[in-house]
């Protein structure tokens, strides 16, 4: 945001552009900043008549209060992590294998299969809500972490195949041929060539899948909301409303902040790989 004097001169032609960009980024960052600051405000300041942006007094009481009052928080957190990580592992494994087959093997219906997979990305997930509910209910998988993981994996698969296909197609065929001559089986060349070559793609797809399943709300709400044991974090946070009829904003903000933590950590860790992976398939033309 801070533009130094000579840089500002260089960009003066596009000054308007930077103004617009600054306004837009401020618009998207301010609400988030407000939640961060509000989670550190004491209770009476949150509920006072005069709206404050910057806290007058700083406190961590909201966080300690949250752990006292939101009994299932740790459980919801664990559930969310298990479901999201399970989805990522399952989707990346199945999806990259499928992409490997689609990108590297010539068989009948290869093209059609790829188009069908990509076509499922066009269908909104909510269409499958009721069908999946009945399916999981007939397999006794409602209100289990396994059921939700399978459901999320089904939706994330198309995206993973899409990303991994564009990565795997750009791996030079000579490399695979050389491995084949040296006696590599298809399975070995998957593990020893495709996976290392597609690492950045895997990281990008994995991050997207993790974020999607971490934030997912409506499926978790319909399928895993019968008891505490399989409830995920977004649904758990939403329950804060029911427990006291009105939102306890201090507890709400601090729980939102903590639910945001893994996302920030993941993004900071994988930022570079993530960007590279997203553009890897795109630039090829």
- Residues forming contacts to another protein in the complex (CB under 8 A) are 122-127, 129-131, 133-134, 217-218, 221-222, 234, 238, 241
Quote the distance between the C-alpha of residue 280 and its chain's center: 19
Closest C-alpha among 49, 52, 73 to residue 259: 73
Q: Closer CB to another protein, residue 6 or residue 126?
A: 126
Query: In this structure, what token pair is assigned to residue 82?
Result: 């298990």
The residues near 208 (Cβ < 8 Å, ≥ 6 apart) are 156, 159, 163
Pick 221 or 258: Cβ nearer another protein: 221
The minimum distance between CB 127 and another protein, in angstroms, equals 4
| Least Cβ distance, residue 284 to another protein (angstroms) | 15
CB nearer to another protein: give 252 or 266: 252
Task: For another protein, give the closer residue by CB, 97 or 129.
Answer: 129
The token duo for 246 is 């009105």
**How many CA within 13 A on the CB side of residue 284?**
14
User: In whole angstroms, what is the distance from residue 120 CA to residue 114 CA?
Assistant: 10
CB closer to another protein out of 219 and 274: 219
Minimum CB separation from another protein for residue 250, in Å?
Answer: 18
The distance of closest approach from Cβ of residue 226 to another protein in the complex, given in angstroms and rounded to an integer, is 12
Considering the complex, what minimum distance in angstroms separates the CB of residue 246 from another protein?
13
Q: Contact, 232 vs 148, CB < 8 A? A: yes
Which segments of 192-248 does DSSP mark as H helices, in order? 195-197, 199-215, 218-223, 233-244
Shortest reach from residue 123's CB to another protein, in Å: 6
Question: 22 or 218, CB closer to another protein?
Answer: 218
Q: Quote the DSSP letter at residue 41.
A: S
């Amino acid at each position: 945001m801070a533009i130094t004097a000579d840089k500002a001169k260089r960009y003066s032609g596009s000054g308007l552009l930077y103004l617009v960009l600054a306004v837009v980024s401020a618009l998207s960052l301010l609400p988030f900043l407000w939640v961060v600051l509000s989670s550190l405000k004491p209770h009476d300041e949150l509920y006072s008549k005069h709206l404050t942006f910057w806290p007058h007094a700083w406190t961590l009481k909201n966080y300690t209060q949250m752990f006292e009052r939101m009994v299932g928080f740790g459980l919801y957190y664990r559930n969310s992590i298990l479901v999201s990580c399970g989805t990522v592992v399952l989707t990346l494994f199945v999806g990259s294998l499928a992409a490997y087959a689609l990108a590297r093997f010539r068989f009948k219906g290869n093209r059609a299969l790829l188009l069908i997979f990509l076509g499922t990305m066009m269908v909104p997930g909510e269409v499958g809500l009721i069908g999946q509910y009945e399916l999981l209910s007939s397999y006794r998988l409602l209100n289990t972490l396994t059921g939700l993981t399978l459901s999320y994996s089904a939706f994330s698969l198309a995206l993973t195949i899409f990303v991994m296909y564009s990565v795997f197609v750009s791996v030079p065929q000579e490399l695979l041929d050389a491995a084949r001559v040296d006696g590599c089986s298809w399975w070995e060349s998957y593990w020893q060539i495709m996976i290392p070559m597609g690492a950045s793609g895997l990281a990008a797809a994995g991050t997207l899948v993790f974020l999607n399943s971490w934030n997912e709300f409506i499926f978790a709400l319909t399928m895993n909301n019968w008891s505490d044991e399989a409830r995920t974090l977004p649904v758990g946070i939403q329950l804060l409303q029911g427990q006291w009829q009105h939102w306890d904003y201090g507890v709400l903000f601090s729980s939102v902040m903590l639910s945001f933590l893994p996302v920030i950590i993941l993004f900071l860790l994988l930022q570079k790989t993530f960007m590279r992976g997203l553009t890897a398939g795109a630039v090829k033309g």
